[in-house]
Every structure is written in structure tokens, then in C-alpha cells.
Structure 1
């Protein structure tokens, strides 16, 4: 009986379970506290507005997380050894499908459709595909070859997003994509232009996954026509697509030229209006991130100063936002009122009880550079408040805000 039970039950190492879902982690990522969670679980936790580590309840100074590649490899090896092959996913059939992807141009769409259908059946099937030797390289080659076939392109992007982004080897996938950069990006642009709303969301999400460091973000941003195409969805896309776009823009804008391109596309006006009108805390946080990034270039600050709803919307959100988003809001206000010294914006912020708002924000406890920005804001808003008849008296502060490198 004991031997039968050993065959029926597999003991999952506790290290492989997500502390939130208690399931085996598909894409383990670590917070700044050192605790590792499954990406989907911790993202849901953070999207709900929490600013603490679920396991330790420590307040998070940063909500960023990084892939735990060592644990990811260990889980992959364990799954390969622990899971017996199922009849509908034999090695022979998968090998056959991969050969068809590589050789059968005429039926590429049909072959990809079969693989996508297999992947949608279960998480186990998606893991089997991700871990199957040669699958990632075959799918990337398929992406490079289907820049004019929307049915094939949509199935490829589904497999990249739902199978490889969640379960694959991140380093290898990114290397394969950037090795065939032009063809792959042509196909993704084709999907963004012609695909369904679902495939557009998957494409933007996968682009955000690719933008893991400065060089990859720069390469994506320099792809001709991509940024303006994606930014357009802030106006014409649905809520889920807009949120994916905001998250993508928040990580890909690493160069001045990329920021200027987006400013020229009207992104400041679009994001400001979204921030003003949205009811979702997650959307507001992502709007503040984009504005904080754009505020680091002179053209961005000029556009924000000229947009009537921008500063007002930021002041309205700053006290309601989680800590990381509130820091982004402070960066925007400091950039406009202190760095640019825009009198109109400064007066507008002061009239909206800006001094009281910043004083309230300062009570949350900040690192020195954020506190310095808050104190700088109080200095300049104090004078504006007096001019507006508010008569607020504050002490004298001496600060150094050298952490921001405006361009």
C-alpha cells in the first residue's frame, strides 16, 4: 500500500510553494524583503493597494520584484522529474508539432493553433510545453516568420505570453527575441495594428516582460513606430489594455529620446486625464509612475505645466496612493514647482492646499531624498500660500535634492 501511495502522491517541497496561493510557483519573484512569491499572486496582492510583504507584513520601501532564477530552475527540474507524461502530450506528438513549425510554411497557422489549443487545456500542459526541449526556440522562430499572418501571429503571442513568460527560461527567451529583433518586433507591431484586444494586451504584456534592463528597454523604445502605436491605446483601448500600456511605459522610458517621443504623442494629456477620471487605484498608481518618469525631461515638465488637469490630479491622488505611488507624485510636484519653478503650477498647487497635503505626506516616513523634496516643496509653496492669503508660517529648512538627474 505504501508503494502505491508513493506513486499516487508527490510531496511538494515547501520552498517551491507560493506563500500566498500555496501552489507550486510558476514564475517565482522576490520582493525587497527577500521573500519569494509566485509572480501572479504577489502582483494581485500589490494591485489591491497593499504596500506590505504578505509573509512578514513589513512595509515595502519598493514594490519592485526581481525573478528568482535559481529557484525557477530548481522547480523546473523538480517538475520534469515529478510529473509523469500524460497520454495526450507524448514526446513524439510534441516533436512532430515542433518539426511542422520549422518546416511547414503552408500550414504554420494550423500547427500553431493545435499547440495553442493544447496549452489552453491546463497549467500542466503549459508547463510541459515550456520545459519541452526546443519549444522556446521554435516559437520565437515562428514569431519571426509570421509578420503578415494574423491568425498565426496571435497564437504565437499567446504562447509567448501565457506559456513562456510564465513558465519559461526568461534569460533564454529574451536572448532569442533580441537575436532576431527586427523580424520579431515587426510581428509584434503587426499584432498591435491588426490583432484582437486580447492579443494586443498579450503583446504589450510580453513587451514589458522583455524590458528587464536598460539595454533591452532602450532597444524596445528605439523600435520605429512602436512607442507611438502603444501610447495610442491610452485613448482608444479598453481598461485592461490601458493598464498594460501604463505598466509597459513605466519601465521602457529609459532614454530622453523615448520620453520626448511620447510627449510629442500627447501622452501627458492622456495620462493626466486618466489619472483625474479613473476609479481604479492600480490605474492611478501606474499613471503616477509614467508622469514621474516623463518629468525627468524638460519637454515632459513643460507639457505637464501646460496641461491644466495634470498638477491638480496629482495633488488629488498623492495622499490616497500607496507609498511608492505617493513618492512618484512627490517627484512630479517637485519637478514642476521646484525644478522648473513654474509659477502658474506652483500657485495652482498652493490653492489646492498643497502645503497641507505635503505636510500630511511627510508623516508617512520617507528616505532622505523624498523628505528633501517634500521640504523643498513646502518652501516654494509657502510663499505662494502667503500670496494667496493663506498666511501659513513654517520654519526654515535647508535641503539638498541631488538624487534626480533631469535631462
Structure 2
């Protein structure tokens, strides 16, 4: 299909009622009608004292800049410019790309990169072709390491690397510290899409213990990953950040560093927020499960009764996966660490009833056993009516 069939429809609200052109500097009169500054100024300078659209007499000839509308017009204008650029950009063939990569050097890198980006975005087949080119990924990493802080160029390289690496199943190249610093720059200053590409690239590269440690030891990187899933962030960015942390926090040293970077309080906020997606809840609980496997994580979790209550609330409420993660966390804290305060917080959150129901649900044998262990713990320590309840009960059903 040809790419020259680009038709531009201008939203009527973007047109000046006087000139009918797209407004460059929209301003509003006291009547609430918005005009382009130049057009309404000429109208008023001609001696008119009415609003051209409504013909109301103006109580004041002052006008106020319409910043919101100006921002919308700019966003629309930028999108049109981008579409026109894409429409005028012919996608290179595989043969052209193959030759381009062979001749890739610093002198033609910028122009070549634009063609490679255009080629990569065109199809999955093109990405697979790039992934098969010998030396292509290493060349991209080399250029990224040698770049100065040109954020736009780095964003494009990161996008290409992320998309291409997603097609490689075998061992992937190890990131150098200089590459990590460039990726960190994109996470800090790049667009939303570029941040997501950067974080997914990190996850893709974290293939062994050495690479996970390299990522964790890059100054400020773990803190930025935590920041990426905190606050009111885009759900795709949150999901990517949680997935990346799940991948890199397997070594104990990385777990401890992630905990020290403030991961657990931010995960508590994610669990406590309403309308959080199932995927984000599952990944938040999985990370907490990972942290509960080391003493530092367990200590921080059992000190926070609100977090424990939030974890109990997710049992049998979200998904089987979320339930299994939640039970594992509670088992680590209450059975391994044996903290009375934690047990009390779990009991006060209706934890005992939840564990009885879990034992009757379609969960794994390991989680069923952990639920039984938790109930035995409460039988010994609790004065409630469930203290003598037989954990082999079969008549309680989870509905």
C-alpha cells in the first residue's frame, strides 16, 4: 500500500472563527469565545467593541491566553508532522539494511540509524532479520557507549536494542557500565515509551548472575527502577519496572540493595491502591515474596502491620497466582521468622479463615501445606475460637 494517502482533518475547535486558520496563539474574550491573537487584535484595533462570533457587546476588551488549547494544538501539530515524516520515509529493503549495517560507522551513524528505526518498526519479520545480522547488536552497544548525552539518539538506539533483543533466545551480550549509564539517562530523561524500552532492555539483558549484579551496582539505577513504579505512573511503565526488578533481584546482594532503595513501602502503596491491575498485584506480591526470602526483607515486612493486612486481603481475591505469592510471604514471616506481632496482625485481618479456605481451594500442594503450617501456628498462639480447629477440616468451601 502506498504511503502518500495522508489526509489531514483539522478539528474545528483549533480554527480561529475569524481567519478559519489553525490558531497560533489562542486567546479568549470575556464572552468565552477563543480567537487567534492576531485576528482578534486586528478586529478590536478596527474600532469594534463586540465579540465577532456572538456579536455581544464586550464589557472588557482584555483577553486571556488559552494555554490548554494551545497545548492541544501543539500536540496535534507534532503528531501531524510525525505522520508526514513517516509518510515520506520509504522503508529500506532487507538488502539495503544489510549493506547499511556493514558500512555503519560514526560518520553516517545518525542518518543510518533513522533508516534502521524505520525498518525495525515496520514488522516482526524485520526485527528478526536485524537480530540475525552478525555484529549488529554489538555495533549498537558500541555506538551507545561512545555517544555523548544526545538523548534523542540514545532513545532510538535503546528502542532498537530492546525490540531486536526480544527476538533472540540464546545468550545475549553483556552490558558494559558505559551502556548502563546511557540507559539510566533515558530512564531519567527520556519519553515514556523510551523509559519502557530501556527497562525492558535491562530485563532482557539480565540473563545471568553477573549481568544482574552489574545492573544493580550501576549508581542510581535501582533507585530509578523503584521510582518508575512509585506514584501515579503509567501502568505499562509500572508493569515493566516490576518485571525488571523480579528478574534482577535473584542474587541476595541485589535483594538487599533493592530493599534499601525503598522497594517495600512502594510495593505496599501498589497493593493498597484501588483498581490496580491483576498483573501489577501479582508482580508486587512476587517481589515481596522474593524479599521475604532474606532476613532484611522479612524484618521490614513484619514491622508493617498495614502491609501485612494488605497482603492477607489479596488472598483468594485476585488470582491463584496472587494467592500463592501472598501465602508464601505470610508463611515466611509468621513461620520462619516467628514474630508474634506479625501473627497478631495477620490474625486480626481474618487470616485464619483465609488459610482454611485456601486449603479447600485449587492451590498447589506446597501452598496448601504452608496454609496448614500457618493454622498450626495460630492454634498454638491464638485464643480465638479457631485455636482448637482441626486443620484437616473438609467442609469449608471458598465461596
Length-normalised TM-score, structure 1: 0.68
Of Structure 1 and Structure 2, the greater helix share is in: 1
Alignment correspondent of 2:117:
116
Aligned-residue CA RMSD (Å): 2.4
CA drift of 1:219 comes to 3.1
Distance in 1 (CA, whole Å) between partners of 2:380 and 2:280 is: 33
Alignment correspondent of 1:139:
140
Distance in 1 (CA, whole Å) between partners of 2:262 and 2:95 is: 51
Distance in 2 (CA, whole Å) between partners of 1:316 and 1:261 is: 28
Aligned to 1:332, what secondary structure does the other structure show? helix
Alignment correspondent of 2:220:
225
Distance in 1 (CA, whole Å) between partners of 2:354 and 2:144 is: 50
Alignment correspondent of 1:293:
290
- Does the alignment pair 1:126 with 2:123? no
In the alignment, is the contact (CA less than 8 A) between 2:314 and 2:322 conserved in 1?
no
Length-normalised TM-score, structure 2: 0.69
- Does the alignment pair 1:364 with 2:366? no
Structure 1 residues 154-169: aligned runs within 5 Å: 154-162=155-163, 164-167=164-167, 169=168
Q: Which of 83, 89, 93 is the equivalent residue of 1:89? A: 93
CA drift of 1:159 comes to 0.6
- The structure with the larger Rg is 2
Compared CA separation, residues 307 and 206, structure 1 to 2 (3 A): same
Q: Which of 234, 247, 261 is the equivalent residue of 2:229? A: 234
In the alignment, is the contact (CA less than 8 A) between 1:355 and 1:382 conserved in 2?
no
CA drift of 1:122 comes to 2.8
Deviations 1:382-402 (A, max 9, x none): 34542xx444422379xxxxx
Alignment correspondent of 1:29:
none
Q: Which of 337, 347, 350 is the equivalent residue of 2:347? A: 350
Compared CA separation, residues 267 and 383, structure 1 to 2 (3 A): same
- Does the alignment pair 1:171 with 2:170? yes
Distance in 2 (CA, whole Å) between partners of 1:88 and 1:96 is: 10
Deviations 1:300-331 (A, max 9, x none): 11111222321111111121243333221111
Distance in 2 (CA, whole Å) between partners of 1:121 and 1:91 is: 15
Q: Structure 1, unaligned stretches of length 5 or more?
A: 1-85, 398-407
Distance in 2 (CA, whole Å) between partners of 1:262 and 1:108 is: 37
In the alignment, is the contact (CA less than 8 A) between 1:281 and 1:321 conserved in 2?
yes
CA drift of 1:355 comes to 1.1
Compared CA separation, residues 119 and 207, structure 1 to 2 (3 A): same
Distance in 2 (CA, whole Å) between partners of 1:90 and 1:370 is: 51
Paired positions, count = 301
Alignment correspondent of 2:241:
245
Alignment correspondent of 1:307:
304
Q: Which of 184, 189, 206 is the equivalent residue of 1:189? A: 184
Alignment correspondent of 2:44:
none
In the alignment, is the contact (CA less than 8 A) between 2:312 and 2:349 conserved in 1?
yes
Compared CA separation, residues 370 and 110, structure 1 to 2 (3 A): same
Larger displacement relative to structure 2 (346-355 or 117-126): 117-126
CA drift of 1:98 comes to 4.8
After TM superposition, what 4+ stretches of structure 1 lie above 4 angstroms from structure 2?
A: 365-368
Alignment correspondent of 2:253:
257
In the alignment, is the contact (CA less than 8 A) between 1:150 and 1:195 conserved in 2?
yes
Deviations 1:103-161 (A, max 9, x none): 32xx5334322211222223333333233343223222222222522111100111111
CA drift of 1:381 comes to 2.3
Distance in 1 (CA, whole Å) between partners of 2:365 and 2:208 is: 26
Alignment correspondent of 1:198:
193
In the alignment, is the contact (CA less than 8 A) between 2:223 and 2:261 conserved in 1?
yes
In the alignment, is the contact (CA less than 8 A) between 2:144 and 2:157 conserved in 1?
yes
Distance in 1 (CA, whole Å) between partners of 2:386 and 2:355 is: 16
Compared CA separation, residues 127 and 348, structure 1 to 2 (3 A): same
Distance in 2 (CA, whole Å) between partners of 1:377 and 1:147 is: 56
In the alignment, is the contact (CA less than 8 A) between 2:158 and 2:197 conserved in 1?
yes
In the alignment, is the contact (CA less than 8 A) between 1:228 and 1:261 conserved in 2?
no
Distance in 1 (CA, whole Å) between partners of 2:389 and 2:156 is: 61
In the alignment, is the contact (CA less than 8 A) between 1:188 and 1:203 conserved in 2?
yes
Compared CA separation, residues 148 and 191, structure 1 to 2 (3 A): same
In the alignment, is the contact (CA less than 8 A) between 1:160 and 1:206 conserved in 2?
yes
In the alignment, is the contact (CA less than 8 A) between 2:101 and 2:136 conserved in 1?
no
